[in-house]
Amino acid sequence: MTATCDVPIRAGSPLWTRDFRLYFTARLVSLLGDAMLPVALLYGVVELGYGTTGVGLVLAAQMVPFVAFVLFGGVLADRFTPQRMMVGADGARFVLQAATATAFAVGHPALWLLMALSGLHGIGTAAFLPGVAGIVTRVSQDLQRANAVIRVAEAMANLGGPALAGVLIATSGTPVVLAADAATFAVSGVCLLMLRLRPVPRTGTEVSTWRNLVEGWNEFRSRTWMYSVIIGWIILGITVWGPIRPLATVLVTDRHGASGLGWMWTAFGAGGVVGGLAGIRFRPARPLASGAAVLVTWAVWPLIMASGGSLALICLGAAVGGAGIAYWGVMWSTSVQTHIPAGVLNRISAYEIAGSLVAFPIGQSLAGPVSGAVGVGTALYTSATVLVVVLVSVLSVPAVRHLGSRGINSPES
């Protein structure tokens, strides 16, 4: 099956056009707000006296609606255009975050109210994310460079966002951080609204939403390279990506304190910058194979922690892990954008996002009981082993291994 996007990779094409500058600004401020939000919201929930149970309920209240509605977000993005959906989602999330900030500022908000606002926020995110891939293909002709630059911005936001949130909480309080996060959605929405994108035919308007979902699913499952990666990602979500944060938090905090934990996540973010820059520099003929091969290096991080390495070695492992996941992200995003037809790109992206993220909360929830039963070290060793096995298995799929760049698809895909 030949499936190419309307906009191929064109190395050397101008990147910083007016539309890309606006889109980059929108994503940078939005990502910065996303990085600030967990610190503010979770600190605020604990400060209100709802404890770890309240934190878990607020997080679940956001994730469950997101997973439930993200597929519909893809359908609506194809039907109404990604730009309209993303602007609308930013507007809704601005209102919701402003309401949350107000609730914290004026009193003692009930847990059910925070859960309700968090759930609505999750629906807004589900409406926003499926359109990201489609927008990138319309604001840049050099998709790999565009994705790499955005990945660098994400890593920088993850570096600076939590620190900025901590400073604002200490000096001004939780409501100010939540208000600042609301402002990032306003800036993002205005920038996206200002994009001058050429009109494109809207798809799926003549059939039902259910038919749109089925068509998206058929397009998704017809591509061996895509569903092979997502199946692997679900396994890794449960065994690697989900557990890594709670396991690393427990182990590093016990051995090196809160400052050590901060240094580790700083190193992870710095590694993400390096991985994004590598995505700008290198243009492999087989992006998925290159990305998966580099991602194997993630295993260094849990292995160092499990073996009792020093804080310096743990930070080095975190940097390697951050670089690997960022480089993979560039190669994956570029492959999706260049091998999927524009008319179904947002729907397929929705299935990809749902499959990639649905396993994370499962892994997070199992991390505690499993590590309690077998020990944190054993859990980390197992995590590293599963990562290597899954990535080798993914690379053994010919459609993954041979998927080319520049929208040239393998016959097997």
Asked if 175 and 303 sit in the same domain, the reply is no
The last residue of a domain, from among 180, 195, 210: 195
Per the prediction, the chain carries an average pLDDT of 86
Asked if 141 and 241 sit in the same domain, the reply is no
Question: What does the alpha-carbon distance between residue 264 and residue 269 come to, in Å, rounded to a whole number?
Answer: 9
Asked if 117 and 263 sit in the same domain, the reply is no
Average confidence (pLDDT) over 382-392: 96
Query: What is the CB neighbour count within 10 angstroms for residue 96?
Result: 21
pLDDT of the residue at 412: 41
Asked if 178 and 233 sit in the same domain, the reply is no
Asked if 242 and 177 sit in the same domain, the reply is no
* 78 within domain boundaries: yes
* 173 within domain boundaries: yes
Question: What does the alpha-carbon distance between residue 337 and residue 149 come to, in Å, rounded to a whole number?
Answer: 15
* 345 within domain boundaries: yes
pLDDT of the residue at 210: 77
Residue 344's nearest CA partner among 229, 213, 210, 224 is: 213
259 pLDDT more than 90 = no
* 214 within domain boundaries: no
Asked if 254 and 400 sit in the same domain, the reply is yes
pLDDT of the residue at 137: 87
Asked if 133 and 249 sit in the same domain, the reply is no
Asked if 27 and 150 sit in the same domain, the reply is yes
pLDDT of the residue at 4: 42
**pTM score of the predicted model:** 0.82
Name 312's Cβ contacts closer than 8 Å, sequence gap at least 6. Answer: none
Asked if 148 and 252 sit in the same domain, the reply is no
Report, in angstroms and rounded to the nearest whole number, the Rg of the chain calculated over CA atoms.
Answer: 21
Q: What is the pLDDT of residues 320-347, one digit of tens each?
A: 999 999 999 999 999 988 888 877 888 8
Q: What is the pLDDT of residues 55-99, one digit of tens each?
A: 767 877 888 888 888 888 888 888 888 899 999 999 999 999 999
Residue 378 belongs to domain spanning: 222-413
Phi-psi region at 274: left, alpha or beta (left = phi > 0; alpha = psi -120 to 50): alpha
Asked if 289 and 407 sit in the same domain, the reply is yes
- Domain count across the chain: 2
pLDDT of the residue at 73: 85
7 pLDDT more than 50 = no
Q: How confident is the model at residue 163 (pLDDT cuts 50, 70, 90)?
A: confident
Q: What is the pLDDT of residues 61-72, one digit of tens each?
A: 888 888 888 888
CATH number at residue 185: 1.20.1250.20
Share of the chain above pLDDT 70, in %: 92
Asked if 91 and 164 sit in the same domain, the reply is yes
Q: What is the pLDDT of residues 223-252, one digit of tens each?
A: 999 999 999 999 998 999 888 888 887 888
Q: What is the pLDDT of residues 193-204, one digit of tens each?
A: 999 987 665 555
